[in-house]
Amino acid sequence: MQGRLLQFLKEEPAVGGIKLQGTLEAQEPLQIDDKSNVGQLHSFKEHWRWENCKMSLERNGVYEAPGSLFWFSMRKPTWNGAELPATDLTYGQLAAGRQVWSDSKFFRSSEDPEKRHYFIQGSTPSAVSSLADIPAEKAVGFVSLPCLGARGMIAGWYSTVDDALRDREKRKILKLYEAALSMPMRLRLGPSRVQVSLDSISYSEDLFAAKTVVSDSFFDFAQKLIDVFPLEPAFGGLTGKMVKDHADKLGVRFHGNKIGDTIVRALQNLAPFVQNAQVQEAFKAFEDVSLALNDQTKNSMIMHCTTKMFGRGNAAGVAACIQLLKALRLSLLYKDIAKDSHLTKEFLIGGRNKAPFIFNIFISFFIFDSGFSDFLFF
């Protein structure tokens, strides 16, 4: 897609006479001054200044300004050679990310069609290991910065541009390209892994506060928060008060709420499961079909019921959780559950005159799955 975009932008004069040289990563972020821009591209934001970037990183350890979307890597982010938690990209997140670049949002940006822009919420967090990572020449730009948030939004940009290229929507491509060269960024110098996780959590909270659709699920939040507690990765030896105090010290919130007793219990229910790669895969596969389990209450209910029946974090409990997520996903795909709004608390764990879905699934595993039989009758 990048090759086709480059070819399109080099065309004369259909796209405003853009004199494009080099790669997309090498293109300078736009400036407000019309004389410094070319063709029909304009920015309403102050631009990235390389000298200020280096100075601020030296003095403050952080720099924030509109940069370029093309500087970010779309690969799963790593820091100091290790992958970061809860950073898998799902089709659901891609679909949510595309909404940031929707036609309706673009039309709402201004009553005047000539003054419309794509607005982006928040500053996407990233980091460099040292000042040596700052390009010596501004015409080079960053290459493959880790994207510590908004990967769904950036993937949505590429997907939307791909559609526009296929349909030859010239003005839309220009406005999307314009937005890519005015991407709000927050760059840190040599942060710790804990700080990287906190930046990712904070960015998701900013999105949630702005009612943006790509904020973290509680499952992803739990993965990231556990990474902030390196000495007790499953909260195993921590009291609820210790978890709350440490989270409060770090300023961590979930969807605007302080980490109180209810969230702590939910975290403790999830902790044995969110660190398991197969559970992570099963949850992301379900998320591709529905976002119905993304809230704290339903996440906690499922893991609590599983723990109650099979024990905390043992192999049988993990296997049961995986099979439950698969069963829910298939039930939605094949319309055994008509729509995800039916996944209520009563449906999942039962209520008056209603058998719980979770219990029925577990009973079927007891009967038909040899692994569960071995667990039961060993």
pLDDT at 225: 83
Host H or E run for residue 165: helix 151-167
Lowest mean pLDDT among 66-70, 172-176, 217-221, 313-317: 313-317
For residues 310-320, average pLDDT = 73
CB 181 within 8 A of CB 43: yes
**pLDDT tens sequence across 6-63:** 888 877 554 555 666 678 888 888 776 645 445 567 666 677 889 999 999 999 999 9
User: Which residue type is seen at 352?
Assistant: R
**pLDDT tens sequence across 154-188:** 999 999 999 999 999 999 999 999 999 999 999 99
User: Which residue type is seen at 179?
Assistant: A
pLDDT at 362: 56
* DSSP character string of 344-374: -HHHHH-BTTB--HHHHHHHHHHHH-HHHHH
User: Which residue type is seen at 344?
Assistant: T
User: Which residue type is seen at 12?
Assistant: E
CB 28 within 8 A of CB 139: yes
Residue % of the chain over a pLDDT of 90: 28
Upper half-sphere CA count for residue 44 (Cβ side, 13 Å) = 10
pLDDT at 243: 85
pLDDT at 32: 66
Upper half-sphere CA count for residue 20 (Cβ side, 13 Å) = 24
Report the mean per-residue pLDDT for the chain. Answer: 81
Q: What is the pTM of this model?
A: 0.68
pLDDT at 45: 67
For the record, the structure tokens of 141 come out as 């730009």
Phi-psi domain of 88 (left: phi exceeds 0; alpha: psi -120 through 50; beta: other): beta
**Vertex 223: Cα angle to 218 and 224 (nearest 5):** 95
For residues 117-121, average pLDDT = 88
For residues 320-330, average pLDDT = 86
- pLDDT tier at 371 (50, 70, 90 boundaries)? very low
pLDDT at 378: 34
pLDDT at residue 88 above 70?
yes
- Cα–Cα distance, 361 to 356 (Å, whole number): 9
Domain chopping of the chain, boundaries: 2-191, 218-377
